[in-house]
Structure 1
Amino acid sequence: MNLSNSRTVSDLSIYPDNSWIVGDKVFSSRLMLGTGKYKSIEVACKSIQKSQASIVTVAMRRLQNANNLPQDNLLYSLPWDILWLLPNTAGCTTADEAVRVASFGREICKRLGQETNTFVKLEVIPDSRHLFPDPVGTLKAAEYLVSKGYVVLPYIFPDPMLAKQLEELGCATVMPLGSPIGSGQGIKNLENIQAIIDRSAIPVVVDAGIGTASDAVKAMEIGSSAVLVNSAIAHANCPVSMANAMRLGVLSGRYASVAGRMKEYDRAIASSPSTGILP
């Protein structure tokens, strides 16, 4: 068998470019990680390292103030020369509160040496039971933050109309939930998320509800730009191994999305030729 003209696995051109852009910044990994719920700082750091994530999000309300951060805080344990901090407004129940916390996050970025970092993951969640985001409050806060030069990544219920409105306001991404925060139920809103992806000119990041690597694969297969994972890794029996599984899942789903799946048929199609068969 002549393989002289075949492309080998060493020819990296057969693989898609996995870099992507948020705002005007290029990131090499399409896996984003949260930093809550880990059993220890050591486990969190090892998991983040194994994931090879480029963007790490931290809830600003867990920090007291920019001038009095505890020295054992995870912020002091991560390599911010290679990671990009995404401050988030988790825990905020109103648009005004989210705006204040976003400003605080900006100061934290400066303190860590990321002077040009104006990113914010926008969460406005008044519902303490189901933790569904407030669409009106999110729109209000997003409009203000965009006008002030922030790179806004809003967390939303998978509503295609809301996603389009946020895009038109100037948000850098939209981040629809796959299922309720921390539930591990996987992607329960697949059709809505697909509709958002199909209509969006900005990156779509599936956030919340991912429970295992196959959920990350599915999110990427349908065309998501990235996924954000926290609980699925932090609550795994071995977080470091799950972080690696998520890394591979994102890559697998991305490759499948770019390759394009085969057409589905309603009957069996023989894989062997029906002609030229010896009698």
Structure 2
Amino acid sequence: MEDVFNEFEELIQTGLKNNMSRDGKLITIGQIIYAVTRDELTNEEGWKLEEMMGGRTQWEEALEYSIFGYPVDTATPSLDKPLVIAGKTFHSRLMTGTGKYRSIAEMQQSVNASRCEIVTVAVRRVQTNAPGHEGLAEALDWTKIWMLPNTAGCQTADEAIRVARLGREMAKLLGQEDNNFVKLEVIPDAKYLLPDPIGTLEAATQLVKEGFAVLPYINADPLLAKRLEEVGCVTVMPLGSPIGSGQGINNAANIQIIIDTVKIPVVVDAGIGTPSEAARAMEMGADALLINSAIANAQNSPAMAKAMGMAAEAGRLAYLAGRMPVKDYAIASSPETGTVTSK
């Protein structure tokens, strides 16, 4: 991948020195996107090359200009800002996982296709080389992807705290010296896999004191979300429906209250099964999504990963654009003036 990146870098630098035309930039951006989808470039390399050419907004404008034939800055100006969690900036609003894939290769292809920048990893499974997790720590390029260690499998606050500490050390061993992120999961319920609110709050309070950037996985409980914000968590991650169920967003009202009341990023996690459900969560105003099972269990995981990434973007843009009001009656879309009438 390094050779391909260097070739693109040289091409871009030469083109910019020679006042590369808009059409030339569009062609080059298309080639970069194609190289990413073919795994010839990593997601991070693709972002870096896009930044050299003025950033993602610029190539989105160029792509739309090529389709519609007018400068997009007069039609759909850039509305969004990057996602910021604990002071770290991310361009993608989709996070993915590493579990349940049929092979390591399929997981790698899916992560690449999603264009995500955050991947969560179960610390216990990596530490013990659990089935399906052998070599997982080395399977991704952690200089390009931000690791989100998680405490999956922990049933008590004490267990989760110990595993979080292991996760921080694991991230350091893999080259992310400044990574203090942890996705906090405290789940004593083996059947429904619902998180323990009391244990989660207890563990979060302690981990924040130890300098962790805590991203807690919770039921869609607005009061708990607010309390976790108050103790210093950097996000809250309410579930849309039971993890791995694919039921979609079953508790939209509570998630909406969380979005409206907390000031930290809200990441909808668990239950999303289709891109339409992912888009719906983003249209509600969620800041990001974490999706694993819907991608890993799809018949074509890389294709579903790409679809989920696109849905996250579409839903976010729709939220920022502002939907039309819902009415109880019909309103004609055609103008009422200038019509032919009979006497």
SS in 2 for 1:86: strand
For structure 2, the residue ranges without an aligned partner over 5 or more in a row are 1-68
**Per-residue deviation, 1:7:** 5.7
Matches within 5 A, 1:236-275: 236-275=298-337
Distance in 2, Cα, partners of 1:278 & 1:117: 68
Distance in 2, Cα, partners of 1:79 & 1:17: 28
Distance in 2, Cα, partners of 1:71 & 1:214: 30
Deviations 1:203-240 (A, max 9, x none): 00000001010110000000000000000000000001
Higher-RCO chain (CA-CA 8 Å, sequence separation at least 6): 1
2:168 to 74, 86, 106: 106
SS in 1 for 2:324: coil
Structure with higher helix content: 2
Q: TM-score scaled to structure 2, two decimals?
A: 0.76
Matches within 5 A, 1:188-203: 188-203=250-265
Q: Which residue of the partner structure matches residue 80 of structure 2?
A: 17
Tell whether 2:189 aligns with 1:127.
yes
Aligned length: 271
Identity of aligned residues (%): 58
Quote the RMSD (CA, aligned, Å).
1.8
Q: Which residue of the partner structure matches residue 127 of structure 2?
A: 64
Distance in 2, Cα, partners of 1:11 & 1:272: 24
Distance in 2, Cα, partners of 1:119 & 1:232: 24
SS in 2 for 1:26: strand
- One-letter identity of the residue aligned with 1:147: K
Segments of 4+ moved more than 6 angstroms: 10-13
Q: Which residue of the partner structure matches residue 92 of structure 2?
A: 29
Distance in 1, Cα, partners of 2:326 & 2:169: 52
Q: TM-score scaled to structure 1, two decimals?
A: 0.93
**Per-residue deviation, 1:247:** 0.5
Distance in 2, Cα, partners of 1:242 & 1:145: 34
- One-letter identity of the residue aligned with 1:229: I
Per the alignment, do residues 71 and 12 of structure 1 end up closer, same or farther by CA in structure 2, a change over 3 Å counting? Answer: farther
**Per-residue deviation, 1:16:** 2.9
Tell whether 2:52 aligns with 1:52.
no
- One-letter identity of the residue aligned with 1:135: P
SS in 2 for 1:32: strand
- One-letter identity of the residue aligned with 1:80: W
Distance in 2, Cα, partners of 1:12 & 1:44: 38
Deviations 1:168-207 (A, max 9, x none): 0000000000000100000001000000000010000000
For structure 1, the residue ranges without an aligned partner over 5 or more in a row are 1-5
2:245 to 162, 172, 183: 183
**Per-residue deviation, 1:264:** 1.0
Kept in 2, the 8 Å contact 1:18–1:30? The answer is no
Kept in 1, the 8 Å contact 2:182–2:215? The answer is yes
Per the alignment, do residues 178 and 71 of structure 1 end up closer, same or farther by CA in structure 2, a change over 3 Å counting? Answer: closer
